[in-house]
Structure formats: structure tokens, C-alpha cells
Amino acid sequence: MTNKHIVILGGGFAGVWAAVAAARLRHEHGEDYAVDITLVSKEPELTLRPRLYERNPAGIAAPLSGITDAVDVKLAIGEVTGIDAGNSRLQLRDGGEVPFDSLVLATGSQVYRPPIPGISEYAYDVDTRATAAECWSALEAVAASERDPVVAVIGGGLTGVELATEIRAQLDIRTVLIDSGMGIAGAMTPAAADSVRAALDASNVVTCFGRRVMSIDAGGITLSDGTRIDASIVVWTAGMRAHPLSRCMDASTDDLGRLLTDGYLVVPGHPNIFAAGDIGASTPDGLHRAPMSCQYAIPTGILAGHNAAAVVLEVPLIRFERTDYVTCVDLGESGALFTQGWDRNVALTGAEAKQVKQAIMQMIVPPTDREALFSRAAPAAASRDVPLQQRESPATSQAVMPGEG
């Protein structure tokens, strides 16, 4: 009899934890290896994406093999270019095919570059390890060679704020933060917004909000009101979109290209296909759409992997329910800001919040011990909501999951 085959597509946080959770449920049902699990990843490492704003991003990764070997999951390095959902097969770039009995789509998201003249030729980004390393190399070069360089960071969201304050802390280059709206402060409570603005002021980051970028060239940018900002380096951080594989499915997507899922993370119309992380759009509390962040990539990965295994093992699926949301944004030399709730109410600031940020960045590195992996991939961990005051230590509490940024 041919073994059933679960395929997890994507080597990011959602994909890694989907693979572990699927292996965990297989183990609970006797681990007789009637079910094979394959993790397909374009790269052999898990990129710690929330840290890509940092200087020296090239080494911010963890080998996938240590994780997959620990839980008896096959690691396949390759790129999937198409999904034949009707025949339950994946098409590979090299022309091969991979059959599946159940599938978890966890290919994440990519930086979105709108059709702005010059954006492809002149704007750097920190979306991948390669592009982040290229960006920081260029920043270091102008810091060393130019008398008074200026960097323009476009996008005042969490990544833009973290990158701008990091540039000031690491290289002391004059930095301008540009956003067509009010940046992250516009989505926060007044107290939280004040903390971000105070940190930007303390870092001497100049803000230019409420104006769109019309064009980018070798010498800087032009804004919608005609303002010219001369800049040695331009970095684009303004927005993400789901991986284009979402468009290979005969399924509905949201305005970010994410596949709409039901409460079990199933892609409607495809009972054996699940979407997790940035490529899926779930509503875990019935009100709020899960954000693109590893805070939700990890638990959706766990539930999607569990449910993908449940389909082939013919056991009940578990509904994804989660009500908490936190944000922890690095603010350079001003420490950090830790907020709770969908309104982003201030919980911690300064050095204390920075300690939480650092602890979170340590926590997101998966262990390579089988027992520890299975413990953290329990379905209950994916829905755990524990108030800050009830948590023991940010460094050890599994309830503290990373927010955006």
C-alpha cells in the first residue's frame, strides 16, 4: 500500500511549524510511517525574517535540516511554480511533479513594489537575507565614502521605523522616513504613537508623512507635492503582498493576495489544502484579520500542519481561535515599544521593552530536539492567550509570541 503524503510548501516559520505539527500528530497515532511528510523549501535555511532590519543580516538564519531530521520529515530543496489542485500535484521549476494527499501552503509574502518610476532600478529593500545584506553593504559604503550622506526610508510601518532607527544607531547617517499616511503611529493609541514619535525624534530621524512618492532616481526621490529629497540611498519598505502562488489556486483572495480560509485554515473548495502564515487570511477571533507577522505565522502553521495530518489520518480537525495580539518594535537607542491588543496599547517601553524584543528574537529560533519541538507544536499552544501580567518571563514563556517587525 502506498503511503499517504503530506506536503508542506515553504521553509519559513509557518512551514517549519506545520511540518513539526504534522509529524507530532503522526507520532501520536503510532508513527508507523504510513504517512510521509515532506517540507519543500527554496532555501536550506529558515530565515529569521523579523531581524532583517538589523545590520549584518547575512547570518540571520537557522538550518532546516536540524529541525526536519529531528522529527523525521523529508527536506526537499526546490521551487514550486504551479499547483494542480484538482489532481493534487505540485509542479516544480525543473519540470518535476510532487503528488500530495494533503497540502499546506506556507510560502509567505514578498515586498510589494508598485509601478513607481525608478523603484526597480534605484530602491533597495530588506525583504530577504540577500537584499538586506546588499542594502547594508550600500549603506556602509556611503557612510565611509561620502561627507554627509542621506538615506530615505520609504514606508513608515514597523519595518521602516525599525530600519530607520537602526541606521541612525549603527551608522549615524542622516535618515528621512517617508510615508503616504501617518506611518505606524496612525494605527496606534495616542500613548503608543507618542512613544514612536519620541524615539524617532531622539534618533534624529526626519519624518515626511502624508505625501506619496512619485518617482525615484539615482539622486533621490520626488514627492506628490513636488518636494525633492536628495538621497544617497533609497530603501523601500512600504507594503507586502502574498506569494504569487496564491494566484495559482481557484480560490478567493483578499486585497493583499492572501488566500481566504475557513476556521480550520482550509482553502474553501479544496478540503485537503490549507493556507498558513502570510499567504493565508484567517480571522482567528471572528473580528480581526490575522496580520502578516510571525506572531500569527507560527500558530497558523501549527494548526494547518495538524489539520493536514488529521485529514490523512481521518481524525477531527481543530479550529484556529486566538484573541491576543502584541507588537514589539525596536526603536534603536530609545529601546523598544511593546504593545498589547489590536489597538496597540502600551505595555512596556524603553529598555524593558528592548529586553522583551531580544527575548522574542531568541524564542523564534526553533529547537532541534524532538521532544521540545513536539511540545511547542501542540495545538493548544497555537491558541494560548495569556495576559502579560500572568506570564513568567518573556525569555521562557511560550505564550509571548513575536509581533510584527
Average pLDDT over residues 377-384: 83
Question: Kind of pairing, strands 259-260 and 280-281?
Answer: parallel
> Which amino acid type is present at position 368?
T
| Side-by-side strand order, sheet with 345-349 | 326-330, 336-340, 345-349
Beta carbons within 8 Å of 61's beta carbon, 6+ residues apart: 45, 46, 47, 48, 129
Q: Does residue 396 have a pLDDT over 70?
A: no
Chain CA centroid to CA 89, Å:
26
Report how far residue 184's alpha carbon sits from residue 182's, in angstroms, rounded to the nearest whole number: 7
Report how far residue 297's alpha carbon sits from residue 312's, in angstroms, rounded to the nearest whole number: 23
Q: Does residue 211 have a pLDDT over 60?
A: yes
**Given this model, what pLDDT does residue 384 score?**
55
**Given this model, what pLDDT does residue 402 score?**
35
H helices within 177-266, ranges in order? 190-202
Q: Does residue 117 have a pLDDT over 90?
A: yes
Q: Does residue 201 have a pLDDT over 80?
A: yes
Residue 204 three-state SS: coil
**Architecture of the domain spanning 119-237:** 3-Layer(bba) Sandwich (3.50)
pLDDT band for 1, please (50, 70, 90 cuts).
low
Q: Are 193 and 345 in contact (CB under 8 A)?
A: no
Which numeric CATH code is attached to 4-110+241-323?
3.50.50.60
Which helix (H) or strand (E) covers residue 4, if one does? strand 4-9
Per the DSSP assignment, residues forming a β-bridge with 176 are 152, 206
**Given this model, what pLDDT does residue 32 score?**
60
Q: Does residue 395 have a pLDDT over 50?
A: no
Q: Does residue 394 have a pLDDT over 50?
A: no
pLDDT band for 264, please (50, 70, 90 cuts).
very high
**Given this model, what pLDDT does residue 338 score?**
96
Which range has the worst mean pLDDT, 52-61, 70-79, 202-211, 215-224?
52-61
**Given this model, what pLDDT does residue 33 score?**
61
The ranges assigned to domains in the chain are: 4-110+241-323, 119-237
Average pLDDT over residues 204-225: 96
Do the domains at 4-110+241-323 and 119-237 have one common CATH topology?
Answer: yes
DSSP label at 289? P
Give the CA diameter of the chain: 71
Q: Does residue 386 have a pLDDT over 60?
A: no
Q: Does residue 261 have a pLDDT over 50?
A: yes
Q: Does residue 318 have a pLDDT over 80?
A: yes
